Amino acid sequence: MTVYVDEFRIWHPPGAKVPRCFRAGSCHLTADTLDELHAMATKVGMRRAWFQEQSMPHYDLTEKRREAAIAAGAVFVPGREQARKRRAARLAAKQ
């Protein structure tokens, strides 16, 4: 299973309306396939309703769930590197 987490950081500006659990920051859980992503999300206690399918299918993780994902086999890959891989895969698919 190839599942990734990126760096833990605060993504929102101060004073923004953010769920309490994410005020201290969050990170993204992504994977090479949706099956792998949803399997890991289930393993670390995420609800399917929390899945975000925008341009990058992912789940937002609290610090505790990030630690659980890493313990369960997720690999740290910086967010920028993940974005480069996604762009390269989209370009390869078009050829």
- Please choose, from the candidates 28, 83, 81, the residue with its C-alpha nearest in 3D space to the C-alpha of residue 58: 28
Counted domains in the chain: 1
**Residues in the chain with pLDDT < 70?**
1, 11-16, 18-24
Q: Could you list the residue range(s) of the whole structural domain that residue 79 is in?
A: 3-94
Q: Which helix (H) or strand (E) holds 94?
A: helix 79-94
Q: What is the pLDDT of residue 12?
A: 66
The pLDDT assigned to 42 comes to 97
* Per-residue confidence (pLDDT) for residue 37, from 0 to 100: 95
- pTM here? 0.80
State the pLDDT at residue 67.
95
